[in-house]
A = this chain, B = another copy of it.
Amino acid sequence: MTGTTQDDYTDRYARRVRGMTTSEIRALFAVASRPEVVSLAGGSPYIAALPLDAVGDMLSRLAAEHGTTSLQYGIGQGTVDLRERICEVMSLSGIDASPDDVVVTVGGQQALDLIARLFLDPGDVVLAEGPTYVGALGVFQAAQAQVQHVAMDADGMIPAALSEAIDEVARSGRRAKFLYTIPTYQNPAGVTLTDARREEVLDICERAGLLVVEDDPYSMLSFAGDAPRPLRARRREGVFYVSTFSKTFAPGLRVGWVLAPHAVREKLVMATEANILCPSAFAQAAVAQYLATMPWQEQIKTYREVYRERRDALLDAMRDLMPSGTTWTEPEGGLFVWATLPDGLDSKAMMPRAIAARVAYVPGTGFYADSTGTGNMRLNFSFSAPDRLREGVRRLAGVMGEELALRAVFGPTGQTRQRRRGAAGADAPGPDLA
């Protein structure tokens, strides 16, 4: 069997932690992957909540009874069957779409990469929330594009900051190709763009002639009522909608999709064929079968309940244990809390000490294309049980307390303080994330 663990997963995040060599990161995470370490890093769903026996039976039948198609090549765009079911899933969020405009991808990641391949030339600018999904930053970096961050507050992206960013790019003579946004239960910030702001953001983008790439992996994982309707449910034109079954079913199958504007769908299909020939017929059949024959919406309710309980455990522990001066977001869904450390603390510099104290997290720097984020960290609550989460916070708070005691003696560096502030609001109006 595979030796994959939750903490292996954090390896790719670690690559983006600046100032450490790959071998240093590997050494650190080799230690971090030990079972005694509480991982608040990673973004893994709690797969043990799935009915694994029933899933196994389903997969067995797919091979035994339908193997000559499910184990064979498929077509680049993905099976008609799965694309129809994806449209049914999207219709629950108010999205009206044709299966003909859906392209099945290897998780949401490949969808982002294909969009980047079609639209980005070296030197182009992408607007994206700051902080944003580390995998998207990897795509934009590979495309040699520049990322202009747009600040958020507790209500998500700040429309005035978006307008200002668009103007700034235009003034500098560069070309912004699209806005990349995770409006709901944002990764890593955990905040959600309000209904009113969704309309504002769409209007701003429409006026600026800016495409929108809406990344929506988490919106079904709401803890209190439904999430606001996706941007694509509000505008058919100019919006790419990207999602995945990684959080609603299982990431190990790597099945995501992009709903594209009709005019570019054919180009996306050609791009994915050059990239991977076709997505896995078996994985597609597995997801289609899961949606067709198993109580998948009940399963999402289970995920919601498990994650809500864990979010509560994490936030309760933070309120009880975190040193004064620490602030954090209070997500209404999804997988992540974004914490802002007391003045003088550097989440990246603190990592080796945290690992030694048997707790892991992702430093904030990984979620920015610039040098900000040293004063932040992302904490995951979907993977670990409530008592483990509390124990993780206890260890983390202990490390932070020790660091603060050291700083009280030797003083913080001015640079650290500056960087932390830059993370969420220095270049933009509006309140801080927390």
Contact present for B74 and A4 (CB under 8 Å): yes
Contact present for B53 and A64 (CB under 8 Å): yes
Chain B residues closer than 8 Å to A60, beta-carbon distance: 56-57, 59-60
**Closest B residue to A43 using CB positions:** B73
Contact present for B274 and A253 (CB under 8 Å): no
Q: Please report the C-alpha to C-alpha distance between residue A52 and residue B61 in the assembled complex, in whole angstroms.
A: 9
Contact present for A2 and B55 (CB under 8 Å): no
Min CB distance A414 to B, Å, is: 33
In the assembled complex, A63 has its CB within 8 A of some CB on chain B: yes
In the assembled complex, A123 has its CB within 8 A of some CB on chain B: no
In the assembled complex, A72 has its CB within 8 A of some CB on chain B: yes
**Closest B residue to A75 using CB positions:** B8
In the assembled complex, A275 has its CB within 8 A of some CB on chain B: yes
Contact of A64 among B6, B15, B56, B285 (CB under 8 A): B56
Residues A30-79 near B (CB distance < 8 A): 42-45, 47-48, 50, 52-53, 55-57, 59-76, 79
Chain B residues closer than 8 Å to A278, beta-carbon distance: 9, 12, 254
Q: How many copies altogether?
A: 2
Min CB distance A266 to B, Å, is: 6
**Closest B residue to A9 using CB positions:** B73
**Closest B residue to A53 using CB positions:** B64
Q: Please report the C-alpha to C-alpha distance between residue A8 and residue B81 in the assembled complex, in whole angstroms.
A: 14
Contact of A273 among B12, B22, B252 (CB under 8 A): B12
Contact of A67 among B55, B71, B282 (CB under 8 A): B55
Contact present for B281 and A283 (CB under 8 Å): no
Contact with B along A193-230 (1 / 0, CB 8 A): 00000000000000000000000000000000000000
Contact with B along A251-283 (1 / 0, CB 8 A): 111100000000000100011011111111111
Contact present for B277 and A252 (CB under 8 Å): no
Min CB distance A50 to B, Å, is: 7
Contact of A12 among B71, B75, B285 (CB under 8 A): B75
In the assembled complex, A401 has its CB within 8 A of some CB on chain B: no
Contact of A142 among B71, B73, B117 (CB under 8 A): B117
Contact of A47 among B15, B67, B273 (CB under 8 A): B67
Contact of A288 among B2, B12, B109 (CB under 8 A): B2
Contact present for B81 and A52 (CB under 8 Å): no
Residues A73-114 near B (CB distance < 8 A): 73-76, 79-82, 106-107, 109-110, 113
Q: Please report the C-alpha to C-alpha distance between residue A22 and residue B100 in the assembled complex, in whole angstroms.
A: 14
Q: Please report the C-alpha to C-alpha distance between residue A107 and residue B281 in the assembled complex, in whole angstroms.
A: 12
Min CB distance A385 to B, Å, is: 13
Q: Please report the C-alpha to C-alpha distance between residue A12 and residue B266 in the assembled complex, in whole angstroms.
A: 12
**Closest B residue to A108 using CB positions:** B277
Contact of A275 among B113, B250, B251 (CB under 8 A): B113
Contact of A71 among B53, B61, B252 (CB under 8 A): B252
Q: Please report the C-alpha to C-alpha distance between residue A75 and residue B7 in the assembled complex, in whole angstroms.
A: 10
Can you spell out 22 A-B residue pairs with CB atoms less than 8 angstroms apart?
A1-B62, A1-B285, A3-B80, A4-B73, A4-B75, A4-B79, A8-B74, A11-B75, A11-B76, A22-B266, A50-B67, A52-B68, A55-B71, A56-B61, A56-B67, A59-B60, A135-B273, A138-B273, A142-B274, A142-B275, A275-B275, A276-B276
Beyond the given A3-B69, A56-B67, please list 11 additional residue pairs across the A-B interface where CB-CB is below 8 A: A2-B66, A2-B285, A9-B75, A47-B68, A56-B63, A59-B59, A59-B60, A69-B252, A110-B276, A138-B274, A142-B274
